[in-house]
Amino acid sequence: MIKLIRLVLATILCGVIFSSCVKKMSTEDVQESLKAAMDLYLNYQPRIDTSRVKFRVKEVIYFEDKTFYLCNFKVNMKEKRVNQIFDTTGNMSARISKDFKDVHRTD
């Protein structure tokens, strides 16, 4: 019986130690990961002609929820037309999963 109690306590102790070792991301790391996720979403889609249109994510403001981030991005878009280059900066909103793999535009 004492061996069983020791085993349970050792298991709980190991669980506490391993769960406390999980590194939390800093604010700067989260911002860079969100920018990278949005950049991949905008620039590497099959429906966009990347030879004509380029997006660059400049800033991000986000709110962290339990399963995703609600984000507002400032995005610079450059588009080549016949003899001109159009340069526009605007805002885009998106919901990005905690693993930074799923991006859903909200407007």
Q: 7 in a domain, yes or no?
A: no
Q: 55 in a domain, yes or no?
A: yes
Q: What is the pLDDT of residue 90?
A: 94
Q: 79 in a domain, yes or no?
A: yes
Structural domain count, the chain: 1
Q: 83 in a domain, yes or no?
A: yes
The order of strands in the sheet holding 53-64 is: 53-64, 68-80, 85-97, 103-105
Non-local (6+) Cβ contacts of 56 within 8 A are 39, 75, 76, 77, 78
Q: 1 in a domain, yes or no?
A: no
What percentage of the chain has pLDDT greater than the value 90? 50
Q: What is the pLDDT of residue 10?
A: 78
Alpha helices in 1-107 (DSSP H): 2-20, 27-43
Residue 67 tokens read as 């399963």
**CB burial of residue 42 (10 Å; 0-12, 13-18, 19+):** buried
Q: How confident is the model at residue 20 (pLDDT cuts 50, 70, 90)?
A: low
Name the helix (H) or strand (E) containing 43: helix 27-43
Separation CA 76–CA 34 (nearest Å): 16
pLDDT beyond 70 at 35: yes
Residue 71 tokens read as 């984000």
Residue 104 tokens read as 């859903």
Model's pTM, two decimal places? 0.75
Dump pLDDT digits (tens) for 50-74. 788 899 999 999 999 999 999 999 9
Domain range for residue 43? Answer: 25-105
Q: 47 in a domain, yes or no?
A: yes
pLDDT beyond 90 at 14: no
Q: 59 in a domain, yes or no?
A: yes
Q: 77 in a domain, yes or no?
A: yes
* Averaged pLDDT, 14-32: 76
